[in-house]
């Protein structure tokens, strides 16, 4: 659901503001986020924060009547994500390692855990680059750049980083580990 909402958020805001006022768009976002929150009510992870975040910012946009608040949502979510990655690295509780262990079919060796922890710093810098790109499009007057990057453009950045991480793991880390 997080993926779908993040993918559709910018086009929804962009298109709906052509036909509706900011208060109506904000109310629709609040309604959708409340439904999303109800769907996630039994989740035990941090995913429940996303609809709450959207509700708060849509409410602020509603009361202040400004599009800029809605436009800054992707930037703020990216910033929080970067902060979570950095904190997980600094606390030696890598977010990347958490997901690797969650989806791994076999136990992860200590050297692999160490590698994943170090690679968390790489992902922090990728995420930070994403924040700066979001910020530049947020401040740019051209809404098309914001629309495309906030909808799906940032996925390409993370896919490229994932490919680089895969190549590094395959051709450098595993060769050193086995060689």
**How far, in Å, CA of 65 to CA of 91, rounded?**
40
| Count of CB atoms situated within 10 Å of the CB of 11 | 14
Residue 179: the pLDDT is: 61
pTM for this entry: 0.82
Mean per-residue pLDDT for 29-37? 91
User: What's the token pair of residue 69?
Assistant: 């608040």
Q: Which of 70, 52, 83 is nearest to 138 (CA)?
A: 70
pLDDT at 52: 87
Tell how far CA 45 is from the center of its chain.
15
């Amino acid at each position: 659901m997080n993926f779908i909402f993040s993918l559709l958020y910018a086009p929804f805001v962009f298109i709906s503001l052509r036909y509706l006022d900011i208060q109506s768009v904000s109310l629709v976002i609040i309604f959708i986020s409340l439904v999303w929150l109800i769907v996630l009510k039994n989740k035990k992870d941090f995913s429940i924060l996303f609809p709450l975040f959207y509700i708060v910012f849509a409410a602020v946009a509603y009361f202040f009547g400004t599009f800029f608040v809605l436009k800054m949502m992707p930037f703020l979510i990216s910033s929080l994500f970067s902060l979570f990655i950095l904190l997980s690295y600094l606390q030696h509780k890598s977010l990347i390692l958490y997901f690797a262990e969650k989806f791994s079919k076999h136990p992860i060796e200590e050297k692999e855990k160490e590698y994943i922890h170090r690679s968390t710093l790489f992902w922090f810098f990728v995420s930070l680059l994403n924040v700066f790109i979001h910020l530049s499009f947020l401040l740019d007057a051209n809404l098309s750049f914001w629309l495309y990057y906030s909808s799906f453009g940032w996925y390409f950045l993370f896919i490229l980083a994932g490919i680089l991480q895969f190549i590094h793991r395959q051709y450098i880390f595993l060769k050193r580990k086995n060689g």
